[in-house]
Structure 1
């Protein structure tokens, strides 16, 4: 089981921010062999959901209220450390993220830009595909909505 915390950018400690950026880089840049600008200037607007195991950040998402990223509230940068994925912590971090959007933003509808190969994972989290697949940073993605 993981423990979670939801924080604004200014509430993050330097160590937490460093570990978040390290985890995102490990997965989205190195593991997926994708050169892209992860530090995009949007972290300051986001709520950050941190998943801890043994006092180490092993799962993470960032949340936006409607209008800050998409027309609806959104969840992005969904990541679980590679060596922790077998434990299905992605479901835990998504559950906390969905609840945090309802609690902090008072919003129900959530839009995500999901990597296409993870459609079934997001379907299991209550999201449905809208539109066609598209390339984002040379990786097939699909827009998905949860109402």
Structure 2
């Protein structure tokens, strides 16, 4: 596997240009709705409350993730982890998660990090320090487990 040079961009949704917002939302719909054959509300009303981390090469979007701040019910969370199909096989999923973990740790030191992971990705997330903390459940017709990365 080859790796790719990239820059990291983290911002709130209202800080995106229309073109950059379109690119990010299109990538998420392409991956989570079209590629995974899953009709569900990708635009779920939560993007305004999160930070959005993107990996870019020049101005091209390679990958993105959504970062939730902690709430009374949850530790900080990472979600909507997506790598462009045109850039898979270049270790970008791992790079994206490492950047997301670093950003969450910088903003919320001493906090564990939660994810809701598709079940078939348990080994991948486990390699990044996440442990399964729930039974398997269906989310939008896809098997998932909750995972936690302890401090």
Instruction: List runs of 5+ in structure 2 lacking aligned partners.
Output: none
Q: Deviations over 1:76-133 (max 9, x none)?
A: 0000011211001011111111111122233530110000111111011110111211
Kept in 2: contact 1:23–1:58 (CA 8 A): no
Deviations 1:52-92 (A, max 9, x none): 12421120000001118x51100000000112110010111
Q: CA deviation at 1:13?
A: 1.5
Q: Secondary structure at the match of 1:5?
A: strand
Match of 1:134 in 2: 137
Cross-structure match for 1:11 = 15
Provide the rounded CA distance (Å) in 1 between the counterparts of 2:130 and 2:88: 20
The separation in 2 between residues aligned to 1:108 and 1:146, in whole angstroms, is 9
In structure 2, the residue matched to 1:38 is 42
Q: Among 56, 73, 78, which residue is 1:75 paired with?
A: 78
Runs of 4+ in 1 over 3 A off after TM superposition: none
Q: Name the structure 2 match of 1:105.
A: 108
Gaps of 5+ in 1: none
- What is the alpha-carbon distance in structure 1 between the residues aligned to residue 50 and residue 66 of structure 2? 6
Superimposed CA distance per residue, residues 35-61 of structure 1 (whole angstroms, 9 cap, x where no aligned partner)? 000101100010100111242112000
Deviations 1:5-59, CA, capped at 9 Å, x for gaps: 1111222221111001100011000000000001011000101001112421120
Give the TM-score, by structure 2 length: 0.92
> How many residues end up aligned between the 2 structures?
146
Contact 1:23 1:81 in 2 (8 A): yes
Deviation at 1:135, TM superposition (A): 0.2
d(CA) in 2 for partners of 1:93, 1:108: 19
